[in-house]
């Protein structure tokens, strides 16, 4: 699951995102589109795209809501908190500061934005989360 502490990542952020999209699509498929719509804040187009094998523009919060559909998973708020805490822990393990993370990102986030997003003081897209996780875990190996 995306919020768990990772020790390794695939070669690219796109590969990591595809792995997570497959997991989220599997969850949404098991619960059904209507149930997923009723129990999450994800809109129909995004859920349909996910179920069709695409990579929709989800927020970290929305990904957590999908993950939380599973009965053996924590609630969405806890999942989101754990995901960000694992990013911080990974930065500590890899001895990375936000400037170092920024310098390795393939997306346009400055160090201040990285810090705000990881500390949950600014909203984070799921794509941003995946890129941050890829850099942090990749540098700690």
Domain ranges for the chain, please list them: 77-140
Contact in structure between 24 and 50 (CB atoms under 8 Å): yes
Question: What is the value of pTM for the model shown?
Answer: 0.96
Cα–Cα distance between 98 and 108 in angstroms, integer? 13
Two structure tokens written together for 19? 């792995």
Alpha-carbon distance values, 46 to 57, 94, 127 (Å): 7, 34, 14
Cα–Cα distance between 19 and 123 in angstroms, integer? 22
User: Mean per-residue pLDDT for 85-112?
Assistant: 95
Cα–Cα distance between 137 and 141 in angstroms, integer? 7
Contact in structure between 63 and 20 (CB atoms under 8 Å): yes
Tell me the per-residue pLDDT of 105-120, one tens digit each, with 9 for 90 and over: 999 999 999 999 999 9
pLDDT of residue 44 exceeding 90: yes
């Amino acid at each position: 699951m995306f919020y768990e502490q990772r020790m390794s990542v695939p070669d690219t952020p796109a590969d990591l995102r595809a792995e997570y999209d497959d997991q989220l699509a599997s969850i949404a498929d098991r619960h059904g589109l209507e149930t997923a719509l009723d129990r999450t804040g994800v809109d129909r187009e995004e859920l349909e795209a996910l179920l069709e094998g695409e990579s929709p523009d989800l927020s970290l919060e929305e990904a957590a809501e999908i993950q939380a559909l599973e009965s053996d998973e924590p609630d969405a708020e806890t999942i989101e908190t754990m995901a960000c805490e694992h990013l911080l822990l990974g930065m500590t393990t890899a001895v990375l500061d936000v400037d170092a993370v920024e310098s390795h990102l393939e997306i346009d986030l400055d160090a201040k934005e990285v810090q705000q997003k990881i500390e949950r003081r600014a909203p984070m897209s799921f794509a941003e989360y995946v890129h941050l996780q890829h850099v942090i875990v990749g540098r700690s190996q």
